[in-house]
Amino acid sequence: MHGRDTGDADRCMSRSDETRLISRAKRGHADAFRDLVEAYKDRLFAFVWRIIRNHHEAEDVCQSAFVKAFESLDSYSARYAFSTWLYTIAYRICLNTIRKKRALSGETDFSRIGSGETETSETLANTEEARRLRGLIWSAVDRLSPPQKSAVLLFYREGRSCQEIGSILGMPAVTVKSHLHRAREKLRKQLSSELVDDWMAVEFLNDSHYG
């Protein structure tokens, strides 16, 4: 289902095109919904994979999210971007998947917690040192709780506002800000403070490598 990370591919579609496709999909045009899937599948997979950390399960979550979205199109409100609504569905499926796995393993369910510079940075992002730093940071990010990890992904990788993230994760914007703050503090404890302060300089969250 997924392809390579295509940057902001899901943001290339205008709201008018998005609205047109959704309207056609609601009237039963399967090709219109397929176009929506094509527009959002890569970044949705990247988001889900970073939470689930299992390729097959991430594929299943994305598939379930698109099926759920298709079945629930009549409940979609144009007040929100389609991608925000879609991420909300996928995030909830992710949490259910995590809860089931942890229930079977007996682990604690952390998903309930807290229910010229551009050219330089692009150069840094392509260096071997940058790749090493991205690996270190991603390893640390993977140890965050699901809400914290999701907030970090949506804020830094997707460029979402705290308000948008709150809509996706089902929590107030102030709670999102708290998750981001706590995530940064946890990362500071695991990594050097300089690395955490400069993490955006190497654009680690735009890395196209999933693993």
Tell me what the pLDDT averaged over the chain comes to.
76
Kindly state whether residue 195 falls inside one of the protein's structural domains: yes
- CA 20 remoteness from chain centre: 25
SS3 of the chain: helix, strand, coil, percent, to 5:
75, 0, 25
The 10s digit of each residue's pLDDT in 122-173 is 443 444 555 666 677 777 888 888 999 999 889 888 889 999 999 999 999 9
Q: Which helix (H) or strand (E) holds 82?
A: helix 82-105
Q: How confident is the model at residue 7 (pLDDT cuts 50, 70, 90)?
A: very low
Kindly state whether residue 51 falls inside one of the protein's structural domains: yes
Can you give the residue range of the structural domain that contains 71? Answer: 9-105
CB 111 within 8 A of CB 95: yes
| Whether the predicted pLDDT of 25 surpasses 70 | yes
CATH of the domain at 187: 1.10.10.10
Kindly state whether residue 183 falls inside one of the protein's structural domains: yes
Q: Which of 83, 105, 127 is a domain's end point? A: 105
Q: Are residues 63 and 127 in the same domain?
A: no
CB 45 within 8 A of CB 2: yes
The 10s digit of each residue's pLDDT in 9-19 is 444 578 888 89
62 CB-near residues (< 8 Å, 6+ apart): 1, 2, 41, 44, 45, 48, 90
Q: Domain tally for the chain?
A: 2
Q: Are residues 141 and 171 in the same domain?
A: yes
Question: pTM of this prediction?
Answer: 0.61
Q: Which of 89, 105, 121 is a domain's end point? A: 105
Q: Are residues 133 and 196 in the same domain?
A: yes
